[in-house]
Structure 1
Amino acid sequence: MNVLIKDEQLNGTVTNQFEIEIERLSITIQELIEKRVTHEIEIYNKKFPDYFNGLVKPSDAERTLNGFKLKPKQIIDVEKQIYVALDAFQKNGFFILVDNQQLEELSQIVNLNNQSIISFVKLTPLVGG
């Protein structure tokens, strides 16, 4: 099933959105973060677009209005980005809402359906590898 992922600011402004495929109806927050980060990095690493719009800013990337620009274009390390994202969640760098309900722990299980909306609300810029 596909679920909608949104990146939002605290004021509710959506800065990015896309769908990811989830194989199971029940998933932990940790698995959800790992799936999201892996999805966006795999897309970037296959196509090398001009900008990377992801949860975690890769190190050596410049923040621009259109996303993060890597100079030169380089493969992003998925494991490093996952580590930074999980760490940031635990340190309140961002929070996650699933169908407008806030999730608080990496081990928390969330039940999804094909109409679920998952919002990642960033509180601080996240820098990874």
Structure 2
Amino acid sequence: MLYDTLVAEFRRNDSLDDVRSTALDRVRWLVDLLERRRTEPGWDASAALRGPEGEFERIRAIRAATQSEIDSRLAACPEEEARAAALCLMLASRFDDTGFRRYDSEIKTVISRVRGWAPDEVAVMLVRVTEFDMGFWSAGSLGMALGAAEHPARRRRQDHRSDRPPPDQEGCLMTTVTFRDETATGRPLAEWEVAGQPDRMTVRELIRLRVREEVARHNARPTIRFNGLVRPHDAETELNGYRLREPRRIDWEHQAEIAERAFLANGFFVLAGDRQVEDLEEPVDLTANPDLVFIKLVALVGG
């Protein structure tokens, strides 16, 4: 699979390994779409003329549908996920001899709207560019990435008041979400932040964001211990976490599906500020309620 190949190909035993692997984990959906694109049928003029009637149009429609899905997903993903997507596209570009896949248009589209680049993310792109035999093609995208690095993600002020940009930049507001685990009696268990998120997200998006982030952190450097909302199926429960039988990677999408079903079955509650949210499609205004409290009532078992 392309995902496994990319993970193995770009493990360089350097300080950027975690950045690369975390980016690939966060956009596993994109890796799967790129794999589909790479394995779609190609064409040449003579083959199209010899083939069944309409074969050229059929192949073109298949390729166009995949490209449309890639473009729409990239346009809709939040800013932190978009940065991971740009890194993924850069890593997947011309990494083997199976084709001249460049993804430069996709990279430019993502980078043109992304802010909050971390120095390590820019470093991953810089290193990748030096590996191309024809590195000039990515110079424009890299220039935009370096420009975006001058615009870090907005962070919430300590008092949680709205820190809105000027009116002409209203749609660009990004915020930091705080996830906090508590017992049913209110005892705090864990707390962490995820920066660079839209100012409004649904409960479903927030649950999936939480699961994706905690799994990405684990998969960046797998150990036998996993701290997360959903217990992997072969793990034992420990104090404030789970113990795997052996270090391994975890499928975040499967974990997220388990978490969504558990929320609907009251396996855990979510509080936005001091208000309990009860519907997966309910929007949460993160400018007013950037703190999400998770209260787990039963053990949630995933994959």
Relative to structure 1, the CA distance from residue 31 to residue 49 in structure 2 (aligned partners, 3 Å threshold; closer, same or farther) is: same
**27, 35, 41: which one pairs with 2:215?**
41
1:32-62 deviation digits (Å, cap 9, x = unpaired): 0000000000000001244211000011001
Number of corresponding residues: 129
Give the C-alpha shift of residue 21 in structure 1: 2.4
Q: In the alignment, is the contact (CA less than 8 A) between 1:29 and 1:110 conserved in 2?
A: yes
- 2:240 counterpart of 1:61: no
Gap runs ≥5 in structure 1 = none
TM-score (normalised: structure 2): 0.41
Q: Distance in 1 between matches of 2:277 and 2:194?
A: 19
- 2:285 counterpart of 1:111: yes
Q: In the alignment, is the contact (CA less than 8 A) between 1:51 and 1:66 conserved in 2?
A: no
What RMSD, in angstroms, separates the aligned Cα atoms of the two structures? 1.4
Q: Which amino acid aligns with 2:201?
A: I
Give the C-alpha shift of residue 14 in structure 1: 1.1
Gap runs ≥5 in structure 2 = 1-174
Q: Which amino acid aligns with 1:106?
A: L
Q: Distance in 2 between matches of 1:108 and 1:22?
A: 20
1:105-127 deviation digits (Å, cap 9, x = unpaired): 00100100287211000011111
1:6-85 equivalences in 2 (<5 Å): 6-85=180-259
Q: Distance in 2 between matches of 1:22 and 1:119?
A: 19
Q: Secondary structure at the match of 2:198?
A: coil
Q: Distance in 2 between matches of 1:51 and 1:93?
A: 22
Q: Secondary structure at the match of 2:287?
A: coil
Q: Which amino acid aligns with 1:94?
A: F
Q: Distance in 2 between matches of 1:78 and 1:58?
A: 10
Q: Which residue of 1 aligns with 2:271?
A: 97
Q: Which residue of 2 aligns with 1:123?
A: 297
Greater RCO structure (CA 8 Å; 6+ sep): 1
- 2:255 counterpart of 1:87: no
Q: In the alignment, is the contact (CA less than 8 A) between 1:16 and 1:53 conserved in 2?
A: no
Give the greater-gyration-radius structure (CA).
Answer: 2
Give the C-alpha shift of residue 9 in structure 1: 0.8
Relative to structure 1, the CA distance from residue 114 to residue 88 in structure 2 (aligned partners, 3 Å threshold; closer, same or farther) is: same
Q: In the alignment, is the contact (CA less than 8 A) between 2:177 and 2:197 conserved in 1?
A: no
TM-score (normalised: structure 1): 0.94
If each structure's helix is expressed as a fraction of its own residues, which one has the higher value?
2
Q: Distance in 2 between matches of 1:31 and 1:66?
A: 24
Q: Distance in 2 between matches of 1:16 and 1:6?
A: 6
